[in-house]
Amino acid sequence: MEDRTLFINKDKLLAKIKDDHRIADIDLEIVRPGDDVRIMPVKDVIEPRFKNSGGDMFPGFTGDDDMVGSGITKVLAGTAVVTTGEVVGFQEGIIDMSGPGAEYTPFSKTINIVINCEVSQGIKQHIHEEVLRLIGLTAANYIGEAAKDAKAHETRIYEHKPLLEACSLNGGLPIVGYIYMLQSQGLLHDTYVYGVDAKEILPTLISPTEVMDGAIVSGNCVSACDKNTTYFHQNNPIIEELYEKHGKEINFVGTIITNENVTLADKERSSSFTARLAEKIGLEAAIISEEGFGNPDADLIMNCKKLENRGIKTVLITDEFAGRDGASQSLADSTPEADAVVSTGNANETIILPPLEKVIGNDEHADNIAGGFAGSLKEDGSIEVEIQAIIGATNELGFNKLTARGY
């Protein structure tokens, strides 16, 4: 780091991440906002960070399996590591650095360090995903070390008091928590908590500052529009907003992470644990966010209904799959208790992405990725897709700027 400029030795970085017999070819490019570049299919996006104290980034992967969420964390704000290459699962997406598609993804506004990786032939999908996940996290960790001795241009302080102390500081403000649903349906729909697949956990309390330090890592290939990349977890806007209002309008006492299971019995168990935890810590209100759509809608509604039945007011954040005309049922499940819902947009809306000068990755899968259809990729290189094919277009943490209103 020199002042606000980051310098990367490409050969050293590639040497750091390519020492894996499963990798057939790997390269690195840097793209900037406004470049005539399309990146697809995108696997994950990670923000480079470094911890001067209080553990290591991405515990369970590139760091020791120690607790994070305290100490000093340096952030290389405005940069992102993006992994791409041959498609892993069909639910991967697009980042356009310019043109109309750039308006739908927050990563058109970051300087992206793009790692284009191809794996050996015959590698199974879940191994392919693992290779790209480890490459991205290792690269972000390595690049983040550049901030180790750098002087911060901005400092933010986040305080998370012990639970009993936090709850006793009510001062008449409503006690509010965050129910953080993590994608865990398996079959390339995985999220990791301290290196553990979230489908293996029971709902539990986590410090919001742990999330900032990479305790939650994406390993999933859900539709690009509402996939929570690792970057979104690191910069969760719900957590940021709750911190902003803490001590002024609300008493933000904690975050409960829960999973999104496949079977009805697992859904019932996790939602019951979540509601009981919320009740035990004295929540009066909670924000609930989901990841994905369809099957996870059932988990969202169960969490809502069970919290409301315990007298805990809820606000749900979700996107919609209401058809290209917006006339279809938006969610796969519903309940009368879900009377406060924030929409992050209709993922079925279509868009034409004009041809760009350069494609990093491979655009041949445009017809097959979620949001694409037969004929999506045109002869001139333009792509007609639903916006669900764009990374972050309808992000259910509210990271982007779309919404919808009912009449």
| Residues taking part in catalysis | 221
DSSP string, 80-136: EEEEEES-SSS--EEEESSSGGGGG-GGGSSEEEEEEEEEPTT--HHHHHHHHHHHH
CA 294 to chain CA mean position, Å: 18
Other Cβ atoms closer than 10 A to 170: 13
Three-state SS for 52? coil
- The whole-angstrom separation of Cα 137 and Cα 207 is 21
Amino acid letter, 177: G
Q: Which two tokens stand for residue 92?
A: 């991967």
DSSP state of 247: T
Cα distances (angstroms) measured from residue 175 to each of 160, 208, 353 = 14, 16, 45
Q: Give exposure, 333-350, as e/b (b: 16+ Cβ within 10 Å).
A: beeebbeebebbbbbbbe
- Which strand (E) or helix (H) includes residue 254? strand 251-260
- Which strand (E) or helix (H) includes residue 297? helix 295-308
Q: Which two tokens stand for residue 57?
A: 């980034």
Torsion of CA 388, 396, 290, 159, to 10 degrees: 150
